[in-house]
Structure 1
Amino acid sequence: MNILWFILIGMAAGWLAGQLVKGSGFGLVGDIVVGIIGALLGGLIFSTFGVSAGGGLLGSLIVATIGAVILLFGLRLIRSA
């Protein structure tokens, strides 16, 4: 059941990150996939620096969204080069 929540939060974070980061997007499906990968990246970044966004759904969504935004910026930099 935890993996299902992880995927759902990643999907929501991907959509939210796509709305926050304007420009030539990857489309809805691409942003959702980026959100799922960004959720992993956000969790890794936050745990590496020992930072906590709080527990529960909202904290997980914040961490996943930050990771997805960072990933989107990186992908768009690579894509434009």
Structure 2
Amino acid sequence: MGILYALLIGALAGWLAGKIMKGGGFGALLNIILGIVGGAVGNWLFGALDIHISSGILGDLITGVIGAVAILFIAGLFKK
């Protein structure tokens, strides 16, 4: 169940990050995939920095969106 939860939160985070990064996205499907990767990166980064945003679904979603925006930004640098 944990893997499915992470995939759903990551997919939602990727979709939201695509909306936030207007023009910097790669299409809905790739944004969702990058959101899943970004969620993992966000969780790792915040864990390494000992930053705790919130607990539960909202905290996971915020962390995922921040990680996904970072991944989309970096991927956008290579897109050009």
TM-score by length of structure 1 reads: 0.95
Q: CA offsets per residue over residues 26-67 of structure 1, 9 Å max, x none?
A: 111000000000001000110111000111000000000000
Aligned to 1:77: 77
Q: Residue 25 of structure 1: CA displacement? A: 2.3
Q: Distance in 2 between matches of 1:5 and 1:29?
A: 18
TM-score by length of structure 2 reads: 0.96
Unaligned runs of 5+ in 1: none
Q: CA offsets per residue over residues 6-39 of structure 1, 9 Å max, x none?
A: 0000000000000000115211100000000000
SS in 2 for 1:26: coil
Aligned to 2:9: 9
SS in 1 for 2:13: helix
Aligned to 2:22: 22
SS in 2 for 1:54: coil
- How do residues 35-46 of structure 1 correspond to structure 2 at under 5 angstroms? 35-46=35-46
Count of paired positions: 80
Q: Distance in 2 between matches of 1:29 and 1:59?
A: 23
C-alpha RMSD of the superposition:
0.8
SS in 1 for 2:33: helix
